[in-house]
Amino acid sequence: MPYLFTSESVSEGHPDKVADQISDAILDAMLAQDPNSRVACETLVTTGLVVVAGEITTNAYVDIHDVVRKTISKIGYTKAEYQFEANSAGIINSLHSQSADIAQGVDEGAEKEQGAGDQGMMFGYASKETPEFMPMALAFSHRLVKELANIRKNESAVMSYLRPDAKAQVTIEYDDNHKPVRIDTIVVSTQHDDFADDATMLAKIKADVINIVVPRVIPANLLDANTKYHINPTGKFVIGGPHGDSGLTGRKIIVDTYGGKGAHGGGAFSGKDSSKVDRSAAYAARHIAKNMVAAGVADEVLIQVAYAIGVAAPVSLTVNTYGTSKVALTDGQIAEKLLGIFDMRPKAIVERLGLKNPIFSESAAYGHMGRESYAKEVEFNIVEVKEANGVKEETRRKTLRPVEFFTWEKLDYVDKVKAAFGL
């Protein structure tokens, strides 16, 4: 019998995503100076206030206030009427050094490998539903809110009333063979400027979303006369962002991953450096799953990996192909082969995916998974210390280096996977 599945996404102006982007911007600023920075940065945002807290170990000097204000401005909170604005928001910085008890299990010694930064389990998922190898409901939800932001920033004349906060939700109908056949429902709520008349406002926003935004990002063949649209269903949405609701780092973990498909281990990503396997191993698991599906091992794959704090080797790696496997092996046998292809020790993951680079701010909105990998030049702040006659002299210089982003989305292991599985 056909069934429905729903996922949601939120825009970069959603309060929780504002918090995520601030945390990751602080992380990137530290990695740009000291790639060995250990960072666990949490952010709270509310009316006119940003609170930054957490644990760091770094040789970098970062102007936290400057990073926070630039991030808020980039998102689009630049008007006093939003009651959360880049130049006027108060900022409380409560970052302090990382626990030595935790560091001793994670630091890389002369004769031992880097241990996992914490215990826990992480998941990676991929399917053939979309070109992104992502669940369709989430992929389309991301596209909707991302296009709203694109219009707001780059085509403001098209929908001149848009403000930064927005949410989208898409419901997909599947057939008996678990194949997506149509879109049942689209829900979009977008913050907007005040209108003189509420009825005019609702009609205008609904028409613009259906006639402008949806056609740009949703394939027409999946829409029909029975597709339902709920556009700003609660009505007026002028008060939004951190003034409308407080935001916290790590509160959108399902938006960040697979929209409720597959599974989630519970650990958030933003504000954490790559020694935290919550982040690095989740990326590595996605990398495995995507390359497996692209290689033709299965049409749908879920990878679970688990660690003990301070121990390098994972305690388990588990595979679920949901009965879609194309090879004559059990899921357990597939898992054994994968461990021979992908080194899942934290240090190996960091090296394989280049996770000591300042690449994380880009992932803090519109999903960490399903993005397109790319390379660009990034500014690094190099600190050099010279000592002469017992006096240390520190100099700083800026340099540009090419850096790869979303490396966990690369299909660079397809040939290795095919060879290992005889495909």
3-state SS class at 243: helix
Which amino acid is located at 16 in the chain?
Answer: D
Residue 272 counted as an annotated binding residue: yes
Burial class (CB in 10 A: 0-12, 13-18, 19+), 151: buried
Residue 415 counted as an annotated binding residue: no
**Rounded distance between C-alpha atoms, residue 286 and residue 269, angstroms:** 13
Residue 386 counted as an annotated binding residue: no
Residue 237 counted as an annotated binding residue: yes
Residue 8 counted as an annotated binding residue: no
**Rounded distance between C-alpha atoms, residue 2 and residue 227, angstroms:** 15
Which amino acid is located at 131 in the chain?
Answer: P
The DSSP code sequence of 14-67 is SHHHHHHHHHHHHHHHHHTT-TT-EEEEEEEEETTEEEEEEEEE-S----HHHH
Residue 55 counted as an annotated binding residue: yes
* Residue 209 near residue 231, CB atoms below 8 Å: yes
3-state SS class at 422: coil
- Between helix 15-31 and helix 64-75 the angle, nearest 10°, is 130
Residue 113 counted as an annotated binding residue: no
Residue with tokens 């050094």: 97
Residue 153 counted as an annotated binding residue: no
Residue 331 counted as an annotated binding residue: no
**Tokens linked to 220:** 């027409």
Residue 17 counted as an annotated binding residue: no
What's the residue count for the chain? 423
Residue 167 counted as an annotated binding residue: yes
CA dihedral 24, 30, 35, 39 (to 10 degrees): -60
Residue 251 counted as an annotated binding residue: yes
Which positions make up the binding site for ATP?
14, 165-167, 236-237, 245, 251-252, 268, 272
Binding-site sequence positions for L-methionine: 55, 98, 245, 276
Known binding-site residues for Mg(2+) equal 16
Please report, in range form, the residues annotated as the binding site for K(+): 42
Question: Which parts are annotated binding residues?
Answer: 14, 16, 42, 55, 98, 165-167, 236-237, 245, 251-252, 268, 272, 276
